[in-house]
Structure 1
Amino acid sequence: MGRPAAAAALLCQLGLSAAIQWLGLTKSGSGVAWNESQHCRLLAGLVPDQLQMCRRNLEVMHSILRAARQAEAVCQKTFREMRWNCSSIQRAPSFGPDLLKGTRESAFAHALAAAAVSLSISRACTSGEIPLCSCGSVPSEVPGPAFRWGGCGDNLSYGLQLGAAFADSPFKSSRRGTRALRAVHLHNNAVGRQVLSDSLHTKCKCHGVSGSCSVKTCWKGLANLDEIASDLKSKYLAAIRVTHRLIGPRKQLIPKEVEVRPVTETDLVYLINSPDYCTPNPHLGSLGTQDRQCNKTSPGSDSCNLMCCGRGYNTYTEELQERCHCKYHWCCHVVCKKCRRKVERYVCK
């Protein structure tokens, strides 16, 4: 079976639950030249509408590949001190149950991926990488007396438009999967893009004699994906478990528990509870925390008590070699010695 056929078969098997399979571009898209539409057929994890978008917008695929890489790296960085550390995202496009079902972790991953692709496209417009777009529009607000609008702002509008078309297409181009799961994924994608939109802020560059900053040139720029992920992590921790129920003329996402506040457009939502991720369970997508490093003195989620789930930990000593006793020599280099020091490490049993 060829790669496109295998990808199609996998999509049929997993249905809409694998809606962020396009993160697999980090593997299948890295060696692609992106100068012929037939290259799109080499990619695993794209639904038909995404393949069409690839063929029609080859110049955008560099940005989407970059978004996939950033989403994977930032997700793992954001959760590196928690039991679920997003390591399973590296399995794209063949995810496990933690990201295939409507879990809290899946909610975060979908929101982050949706924000990443819109952010990457927005900035590609600014850098001139995409011929069909350019700088963002000049803000309508009147500039202050000490600054003027200029520079090249991030093109959020184009990024949102094209990013939504790409990230949301798995839910709209197929009827596989439950309506509830489609609704949850679309909602969480929108939350990711909303957090991105809210991050747009004014950036300035000073002009003036001797750095006086008598005049500033300002533009609108977006936050980095690390900051977006930090905001989304807060929403992940406060995510609402929902059900998809008929309210009036249409079905809506409403809290599973009656005493929980109504769902808003800024809440991440999920359908099923997650495991505690303490012990390996492939059926639940849990890798367990055995052999994970913990922090003996931390009061947070990376503490040995929480990370090791009460099982205890082993201690070992590691010898590190570092630069030390550095001295600056005129002109113009620094000379350092090499020092060794021992540090204690703690690993979950």
Structure 2
Amino acid sequence: MVRKQNFPLQRTREQAYVYAMSAAALSWSIARACAAGALAACSCAAPPRAPPRPPRQAVPPEPQARFKWGGCGDNFQWAERFAKQFLDTHEIDVRDGRIEDEIIDFETTTEKPTTTAEPTTAPPVVILVDDQPAPANTSMAPRRKGKRGKKRLPRSPRRGRPTRKRFRSRYDYEDDEKEYQYRNIEYRMAADDPRFDPQVDLHTRLHHLRTLIASANLVNNRFGRRVVSQGMRTKCTCHGVSGSCSVRTCWRALTALSRAGAALAREAGRAAALPPRAPRPRPLRRARSRLRYVTPSPDYCEPDPAAGSLGTHGRKCNASLGQGAGGCARLCCGRGRRALRAARLERCRCRYHWCCRVDCQLCRVTTEEHYCN
């Protein structure tokens, strides 16, 4: 499961819901797979120590003796540990500063760079990347032997000063379709060249926000797993002569994943901003956990190409739903709607004649569709 980050400097409430839902779906699927025997690393959940609770209508004085744990329960404990290790390890390292998060080098144009360029008044901007060949006007110093991890950097083509970059050996991610590269290199361009200010500003913003983003991801992942764990229910089956149900065998099972998704969707509307981390005394009472976001959500009512939102102008809506999902009162953002009536011919009053013919009449049906202004 891979979650690509098209906007690395943003963590909206919608992205908080996606992270929480991903963690919930991962833990739920693994817990069910363990109970079904689909995974060799885990099996059924261990029965709880406490005896199962009998139903309220139980009359015998010792109802605990008639109920016992059995069956194959969903192994949520093992699934939670696996999901936490799979999703939270990288976020914890980024939050604690042990590693540096990947930096995305956005391309200004979709065209591939060419080696030849027409002479212009201003010199072209040169971005030195680890896998690009050095320009013709730079000289590559010989590499020292015997020192592992040390690389000689090319000289700056402007004043002969070395470009300040720090290489960090970690992972390399390549994506040819997007025309950008994930590189674990910290770009620090020469301070005497003001043309690299946008790159420096991008890195500075990411440097200040990455710890806060990682903390929000950890909170949302934990919240998603917690919602799934709250859906554990006790299921029982009866055993006895003639359906007397003298003995009940019970086990713990998870509810449907759609319930967890609906609960997370409700919590997304109540998500709160994650405050910056500051040294302060720990409160005596833990605050109510909820989904956390870093940046506010854009206005989805109006077109916003930067955020990838097309707006709701001209969207088809359902006037009978009101404030519900897809309703005109909610989707049109208070701009009103227009109704279009259309008439079409449909087959109706069909009758079957033996044998073997179906005769139908043509009826004119008028429909009304609503579109947002």
TM range (shorter): 0.5 to 0.7
Query: CA 1:121/1:314 → structure 2, altered by over 3 Å: closer, same or farther?
Result: same
Matched, 1:115 2:24: yes
Query: CA 1:101/1:319 → structure 2, altered by over 3 Å: closer, same or farther?
Result: farther
- The answer to whether the 8 A contact 2:273-2:295 is kept is yes
1:345 deviation in Å?
3.2
Q: Distance in 2 between matches of 1:246 and 1:276?
A: 30
Q: Distance in 2 between matches of 1:321 and 1:208?
A: 58
1:323 deviation in Å?
11
Aligned to 2:339: 315
Secondary structure of 2:218's counterpart equals helix
Q: Distance in 2 between matches of 1:127 and 1:324?
A: 50
Query: CA 1:106/1:94 → structure 2, altered by over 3 Å: closer, same or farther?
Result: closer
Matched, 1:187 2:210: no
- The answer to whether the 8 A contact 1:320-1:343 is kept is no
- The answer to whether the 8 A contact 1:240-1:263 is kept is no
Q: Deviations over 1:267-311 (max 9, x none)?
A: 111122112310221213423123433221333243313211233
Aligned to 1:228: 260
Aligned to 1:151: 71
Aligned to 1:292: 315
Q: Distance in 2 between matches of 1:201 and 1:182?
A: 32
Q: Distance in 2 between matches of 1:209 and 1:158?
A: 37
Secondary structure of 2:48's counterpart equals coil
1:171 deviation in Å?
1.4
Query: CA 1:140/1:278 → structure 2, altered by over 3 Å: closer, same or farther?
Result: same
- The answer to whether the 8 A contact 1:194-1:266 is kept is no
Query: CA 1:111/1:315 → structure 2, altered by over 3 Å: closer, same or farther?
Result: same
Aligned to 2:369: 345
Aligned to 1:243: 275
Matched, 1:175 2:100: yes
Secondary structure of 2:265's counterpart equals helix
Q: Deviations over 1:54-76 (max 9, x none)?
A: xxxxxxxxxxxxxxxxxxxxxxx
- The answer to whether the 8 A contact 1:104-1:239 is kept is yes
1:214 deviation in Å?
4.0
Matched, 1:128 2:37: yes
Aligned to 1:203: 235
Structure 1 residue identity aligned to 2:235:
K
Structure 1 residue identity aligned to 2:47:
V
Structure 1 residue identity aligned to 2:25:
A
Secondary structure of 1:344's counterpart equals strand
Q: How does 1:9-158 map to 2 (within 5 A)?
A: 22-23=2-3, 93=4, 95=6, 97=7, 101-143=10-52, 144=54, 145=63, 146-158=66-78
1:205 deviation in Å?
2.3
What is the aligned-residue identity percentage? 37
Task: Structure 1: state its 5+ residue gaps.
Answer: 1-20, 24-92, 255-261, 326-336
Query: CA 1:120/1:291 → structure 2, altered by over 3 Å: closer, same or farther?
Result: farther
Q: Distance in 2 between matches of 1:205 and 1:323?
A: 49
User: Could you say which structure has the greater relative contact order, defined with CA pairs below 8 angstroms and 6 or more residues apart?
Assistant: 2
Structure 1 residue identity aligned to 2:331:
M
- The answer to whether the 8 A contact 1:107-1:270 is kept is yes
Q: Distance in 1 between matches of 2:279 and 2:224?
A: 25
- The answer to whether the 8 A contact 1:206-1:216 is kept is yes
Query: CA 1:211/1:343 → structure 2, altered by over 3 Å: closer, same or farther?
Result: farther
Aligned to 2:130: none
Corresponding pairs, count: 240
1:163 deviation in Å?
0.8
Q: Distance in 1 between matches of 2:265 and 2:288?
A: 16
Q: Distance in 2 between matches of 1:134 and 1:152?
A: 9
Query: CA 1:131/1:100 → structure 2, altered by over 3 Å: closer, same or farther?
Result: farther
Matched, 1:219 2:251: yes
Query: CA 1:142/1:321 → structure 2, altered by over 3 Å: closer, same or farther?
Result: farther
Q: Distance in 2 between matches of 1:215 and 1:323?
A: 57
Q: Distance in 2 between matches of 1:216 and 1:320?
A: 59
Q: Structure 1 residues 294-303 or 188-197, which shifts more?
A: 294-303
Secondary structure of 1:276's counterpart equals coil
Query: CA 1:303/1:219 → structure 2, altered by over 3 Å: closer, same or farther?
Result: same
Aligned to 2:305: 282
Structure with the greater alpha carbon radius of gyration: 2
Q: Distance in 2 between matches of 1:269 and 1:189?
A: 10
